[in-house]
């Protein structure tokens, strides 16, 4: 506390310190001197009074001896008078030997108990002294004892006590003297100190004045008051300092002026560059708008071009496939195969370019469907192996799934297939020997979502480290020589990366030309409630011959997991010797066959041996490009022929049906067009402005017994439909005069076409256009170029469809729009209900953009305003889904602000888009005009 107080004291100024340094010693010395003088003077006065009193007492005692002896009163009084004449003496008393007063003079003595002793003594009281002395009478007679030696008498010295004298002396006189002296001393002391104070003050201020002046001058310098600083005058002894100060001031003034000029210059420069920046920013803004516009035009152009290119490709591919079936001459067959291959790669390139332009234009929307991931990966492997493996290029393709991975997910399976096809395709393309493995594991999961981690590991040519950074840039390939060797556009990885990022994932690559490359990526998928049928354990014992260690590990791990016991053999001899020993305990032989001739012949012999000798069936695992059709003679001997890479599912099925020999089923698959008997007499109308495409449809459908009518325009189609009832209609989208969507809407107005399946044939792949197609009243769509098999499957699906078109629409609308609710609000007045709905729906596109804008700017208040507006309106227009999501978002924003609002806002925007896409499907009651 005390310390705190001390530290709070303001430090003394230099002037004060100097003052105290001068004044304090003078003050202390003068005080001490005064005390010393006073005390010695007071002692002196006391001592003098004491001496005088004592002396007078003794004098009275001596002189009064005879007066007492002779009782001479007069003499006594004279003596006393004499003593009293001293102004210090108050009273004098004489006592006889009996201690009785015999004479006294002066003021009445104070009653004190003086003791009568033979010795003289003085007692001091506060205001007076009392002195007492004995009076003797000396009797000097000669009748003393004679001294024989000296011949003289020794005189006898006899002293007799005859009385006492008592004198009282007062102290008042010395008190006055003391007061006088003390006054003098105090006066001198005060005077001296006043003089000292004046002197010290003067001296200290004289000494500190230049320092103060200097401080003030510096202060003015700091404030930039240079002329005031220059006026500072220091005493002559500081002339040098004064000169330096002036010098410093001038220099600073100079710098200051320079600085101001510099600042003015810079300000001017900044102003000018800001002007030019503003100008540049305006130019940039314009350029940016132009660039965006040209980007949009580019994407549109690419989409149009791709459409235009796909349409003729459709015809080329279709006829090529037709030719392939008919041509026998191997040379011609080679030509046609080449045409097919080239067309397919052209299609792939167009697909890539279209995807790229869609991604660039931000138009790539992901779909959500339930899919089986294992089946998807197997499928990708299967297709790629058939296309990419050759007799010379034999590599192991191995999918590896961690045990805890579920089979079913919800996500965009087409896009996941695209990612995997691209990465696994690249890996196979750039690997000459070894393996391409795909490892799938769970990276993380929540109650709703799973993040999967994929690794595509190859043992191929690898990518040099300094070229890895180029991989994900558009149109870039690691080097041009590989490009020539392997082809491709260099867009695959760019598209893959964008797709992965859109699925909330990341992609990265590590590569070493001596080992190979590993591409890792993650994607986040929703969990699916679908599960695959439980696969019960198989109680089987098999012999396994698989020369590749990687593949053997994959197979044995799976066999273990489904309870199949196996003996892994290293060659055919070992199989035979094992069979000879324990053929009773063996259910089948699992045999891997590479396409080289020797291996094939050996395998053939082994299979025949097992079948004939022990009646043990074999399951043949064929490495592409070996086709199942290449082993016609083995079909009856083998229990099953599986094409590598072998999916776990197909292996399970093969092991389950070991003795059933389902080879016929496989051969059926190779000839798809064989049986369309049940389509006979089906009446189909094909509408397309391109005669080539119509011809192609005709070519496919007529042999199956389908009755195909063709229309070259929408108008013609409607006319034909009025006069004839078709079972199914194929409708081109882009047609002059009246497009496919409008034609469909007109057809749906016709009574007997309310529920007829209408399938779009489109080269458009954008998600929003597909939605529009469906919204216009069509049931499904097929993307050009049309696959023959898919065409027949689609016909099968829709001809057996029992649902009315309205049922389908209702299915779609059920969660989006509630017509009853919309009508109930306006007492069933459909016109008003539709008007209100249109007002909201018309504004939604703009409102959606506003929401996205406010979200970007993080402006909660304005966002709440918009959402609240839509929420209010959506309650009265039957738009139940929008109302629900607007309610969620509004509550979220009000209670939690923008924190974690992204997902809720996304759902809301999705709800808006969904409504806009299905707007045309709403079945407003008849009194209402047709929708626009």
Q: Which residues bind ligand ADP (CB under 6 A)?
A: 422, 426-427, 430, 458, 460-463, 471, 477-478, 482-483, 488-493, 517
Residue 412: CA count within 13 A, CB half-sphere: 16
> Between the CA of residue 739 and those of 315, 710, 776, what are the distances in Å?
21, 16, 11
Peptide linkage before 625 cis (omega within 30 of 0):
yes
CA distance 562 to 539: 9
Whether residue 497 contacts residue 415, with contact meaning beta carbons closer than 8 Å, is answered with: no
| Pick from 254, 315, 130: nearest CA to 697 | 315
Question: What are the tokens at 398?
Answer: 């191995």
Whether residue 309 contacts residue 350, with contact meaning beta carbons closer than 8 Å, is answered with: yes
| Pick from 477, 485, 590: nearest CA to 544 | 590
Least gap, CB of 306 to ligand ADP (angstroms) = 16
Least gap, CB of 501 to ligand ADP (angstroms) = 15
Least gap, CB of 459 to ligand ADP (angstroms) = 10
Task: Indicate the residue among 438 and 477 with the shorter CB distance to ligand ADP.
Answer: 477
Task: Indicate the residue among 150 and 480 with the shorter CB distance to ligand ADP.
Answer: 480
Task: Indicate the residue among 423 and 611 with the shorter CB distance to ligand ADP.
Answer: 423
742-761 as b/e: b if 16+ CB within 10 A: ebbbbbbeeeebebbbbbbb
Least gap, CB of 539 to ligand ADP (angstroms) = 41
Task: Indicate the residue among 235 and 513 with the shorter CB distance to ligand ADP.
Answer: 513
Collapsed DSSP state (helix, strand, coil) of residue 700: helix
491-510 as b/e: b if 16+ CB within 10 A: bbbbbbbbbbeebebebebe
Task: Indicate the residue among 478 and 841 with the shorter CB distance to ligand ADP.
Answer: 478
Question: What are the tokens at 501?
Answer: 């990022």
Task: Indicate the residue among 90 and 426 with the shorter CB distance to ligand ADP.
Answer: 426
Non-local CB neighbours of 312 within 8 Å, separated by 6+ positions: 692
Non-local CB neighbours of 459 within 8 Å, separated by 6+ positions: 395, 431, 433, 434, 435, 436, 515, 516
Cβ atoms within 10 Å of 633's Cβ, excluding its own? 10
Structural element, H or E, at residue 496:
helix 492-502
Task: Indicate the residue among 489 and 770 with the shorter CB distance to ligand ADP.
Answer: 489
Which DSSP state fits 612? I
Least gap, CB of 482 to ligand ADP (angstroms) = 5
Task: Indicate the residue among 493 and 696 with the shorter CB distance to ligand ADP.
Answer: 493
**H helix intervals, 70-98:** 73-84
Least gap, CB of 304 to ligand ADP (angstroms) = 23
CA distance 739 to 736: 6
Which residue of this chain has its Cβ atom nearest to ligand ADP in the complex?
488
Least gap, CB of 510 to ligand ADP (angstroms) = 11
Q: What is the CA radius of gyration of the chain?
A: 64
Task: Indicate the residue among 477 and 592 with the shorter CB distance to ligand ADP.
Answer: 477
Least gap, CB of 412 to ligand ADP (angstroms) = 19
Task: Indicate the residue among 467 and 657 with the shorter CB distance to ligand ADP.
Answer: 467
Q: How do the residues of the chain divide into helix, strand and coil, expressed in percent and rounded to 5?
A: 60, 15, 25
Task: Indicate the residue among 477 and 794 with the shorter CB distance to ligand ADP.
Answer: 477
Task: Indicate the residue among 133 and 477 with the shorter CB distance to ligand ADP.
Answer: 477
Whether residue 211 contacts residue 238, with contact meaning beta carbons closer than 8 Å, is answered with: no
CA distance 387 to 625: 8
**For helices 902-918 and 880-896, angle between their N-to-C axes, nearest 10 degrees:** 160
Least gap, CB of 476 to ligand ADP (angstroms) = 7
Least gap, CB of 667 to ligand ADP (angstroms) = 35
Per the listing, tokens 């097992």 go with: 610
| Pick from 696, 713, 622: nearest CA to 663 | 622
Least gap, CB of 681 to ligand ADP (angstroms) = 46
Least gap, CB of 747 to ligand ADP (angstroms) = 42
Least gap, CB of 456 to ligand ADP (angstroms) = 7
Least gap, CB of 462 to ligand ADP (angstroms) = 6
CA distance 843 to 337: 54
Task: Indicate the residue among 204 and 418 with the shorter CB distance to ligand ADP.
Answer: 418
Question: What are the tokens at 136?
Answer: 């003797």
Number of helices followed by number of strands (H, E) in the chain:
27, 22
Which DSSP state fits 647? P
Task: Indicate the residue among 435 and 917 with the shorter CB distance to ligand ADP.
Answer: 435
């Amino acid at each position: 506390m005390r310390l705190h107080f001390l530290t709070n004291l303001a430090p003394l100024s230099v002037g004060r310190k100097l003052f105290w340094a001068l004044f304090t010693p003078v003050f202390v010395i003068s005080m001490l001197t005064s005390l010393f003088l006073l005390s010695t003077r007071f002692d002196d006065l006391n001592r003098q009074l004491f001496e005088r009193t004592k002396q007078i007492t003794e004098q009275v005692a001596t002189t009064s001896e005879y007066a007492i002896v002779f009782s001479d009163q007069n003499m006594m009084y004279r003596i006393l008078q004499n003593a009293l004449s001293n102004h210090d003496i108050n009273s004098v008393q004489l006592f006889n030997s009996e201690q009785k007063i015999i004479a006294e003079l002066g003021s009445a003595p104070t009653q004190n108990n003086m003791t009568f002793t033979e010795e003289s003594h003085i007692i001091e009281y506060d205001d007076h002294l009392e002195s007492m002395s004995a009076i003797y009478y000396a009797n000097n007679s000669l009748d003393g004892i004679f001294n024989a030696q000296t011949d003289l008498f020794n005189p006898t010295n006899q002293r007799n006590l005859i009385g006492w004298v008592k004198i009282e002396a007062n102290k008042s006189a010395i008190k006055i003297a003391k007061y006088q002296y003390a006054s003098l001393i105090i006066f001198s002391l005060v005077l001296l100190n006043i003089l000292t104070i004046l002197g010290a003050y003067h001296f200290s201020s004289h000494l500190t004045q230049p320092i103060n002046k200097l401080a003030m001058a510096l202060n003015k310098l700091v404030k930039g008051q240079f002329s005031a600083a220059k006026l500072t005058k220091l005493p002559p002894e500081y002339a040098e300092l004064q000169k330096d100060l002036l010098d410093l001031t001038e220099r600073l003034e100079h710098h200051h002026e320079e600085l101001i000029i510099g600042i003015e210059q810079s300000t001017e420069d900044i102003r000018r560059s800001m002007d030019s920046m503003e100008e540049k920013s305006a130019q940039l803004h314009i350029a940016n708008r132009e660039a965006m516009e040209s980007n949009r035009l580019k994407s549109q152009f690419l989409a149009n071009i791709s459409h235009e290119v796909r349409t003729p490709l459709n015809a080329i591919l279709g006829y090529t496939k037709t030719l392939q079936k008919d041509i026998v001459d191997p040379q011609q067959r080679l030509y046609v195969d080449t045409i097919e291959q080239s067309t397919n790669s052209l299609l792939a390139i167009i697909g890539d370019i279209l995807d790229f332009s869609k991604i660039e234009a931000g138009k790539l929307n992901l779909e959500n469907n339930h899919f089986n991931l294992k089946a998807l990966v197997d499928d990708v492997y299967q297709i790629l192996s058939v296309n990419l493996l050759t007799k010379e290029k034999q590599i192991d393709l191995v999918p590896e799934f961690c045990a805890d991975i579920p089979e079913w997910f919800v996500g965009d399976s087409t896009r996941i297939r695209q990612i995997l096809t691209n990465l696994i395709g690249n890996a196979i393309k750039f690997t000459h020997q070894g393996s391409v493995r795909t490892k799938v594991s769970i990276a993380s999961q929540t109650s709703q979502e799973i993040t999967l981690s994929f690794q595509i590991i190859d043992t191929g040519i690898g990518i040099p480290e300094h070229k890895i950074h180029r991989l994900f840039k558009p149109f870039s390939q690691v080097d041009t020589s590989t490009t020539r060797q392997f082809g491709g556009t260099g867009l695959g990885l760019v598209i893959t990366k964008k797709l992965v990022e859109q699925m909330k994932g990341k992609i990265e690559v590590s590569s070493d030309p001596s080992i190979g490359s590993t591409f890792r990526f993650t994607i986040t998928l929703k969990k699916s409630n679908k599960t695959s049928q439980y696969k019960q354990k198989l109680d089987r014992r098999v012999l396994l011959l698989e020369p590749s260690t990687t593949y053997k590990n994959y197979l044995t791990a799976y066999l273990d997991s489904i309870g199949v016991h196996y003996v892994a053999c290293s060659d055919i001899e070992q199989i035979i010797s094992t069979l000879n020993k324990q053929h009773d305990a063996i259910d089948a032989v699992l045999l891997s066959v590479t396409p080289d001739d020797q291996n094939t012949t050996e395998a053939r012999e082994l299979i025949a041996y097992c079948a004939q000798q022990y009646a043990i069936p074999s399951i043949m695992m064929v490495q592409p490009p070996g086709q199942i059709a290449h082993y016609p003679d083995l079909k009856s001997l083998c229990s099953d022929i599986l094409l590598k890479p072998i999916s776990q599912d197909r292996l399970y099925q093969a092991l389950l049906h070991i003795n059933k020999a389902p080879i016929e089923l496989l051969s059926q698959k190779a000839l798809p067009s064989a049986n369309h008997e049940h389509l006979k007499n089906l009446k189909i109308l094909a509408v397309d402005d391109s005669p080539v495409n119509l011809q192609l449809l005709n070519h496919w459908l007529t042999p199956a017994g389908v009755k195909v009518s063709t229309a070259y325009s929408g108008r013609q189609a409607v006319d034909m439909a009025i006069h004839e009832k078709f079972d199914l209609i194929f409708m081109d989208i882009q047609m002059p005069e009246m497009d496919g969507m409008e034609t469909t809407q007109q057809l749906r107005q016709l009574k007997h076409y309310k529920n007829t399946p209408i399938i779009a044939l489109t080269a458009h792949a954008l998600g929003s256009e597909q939605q529009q197609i469906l919204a216009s009243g069509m049931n499904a769509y097929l993307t050009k170029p049309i696959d023959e098999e898919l065409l027949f499957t689609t016909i099968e699906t829709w001809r057996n469809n029992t649902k009315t078109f309205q049922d389908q629409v209702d299915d779609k609308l059920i969660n989006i729009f509630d017509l009853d609710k919309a009508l109930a609000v306006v007492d069933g007045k459909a016109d008003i209900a539709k008007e209100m709905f249109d007002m909201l729906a018309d504004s939604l596109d703009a409102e959606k953009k506003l929401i996205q804008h406010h979200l970007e700017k993080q402006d909660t208040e304005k966002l709440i305003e918009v959402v609240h507006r839509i929420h209010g309106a959506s309650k009265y227009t039957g738009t139940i889904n929008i109302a629900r999501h607007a309610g969620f978002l509004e509550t979220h924003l009000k209670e939690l602000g923008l924190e974690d609002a992204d997902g809720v806002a996304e759902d809301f925007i999705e709800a808006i888009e969904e409504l806009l896409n299905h707007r045309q499907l709403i079945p407003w009651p008849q009194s209402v005009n047709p929708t626009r």
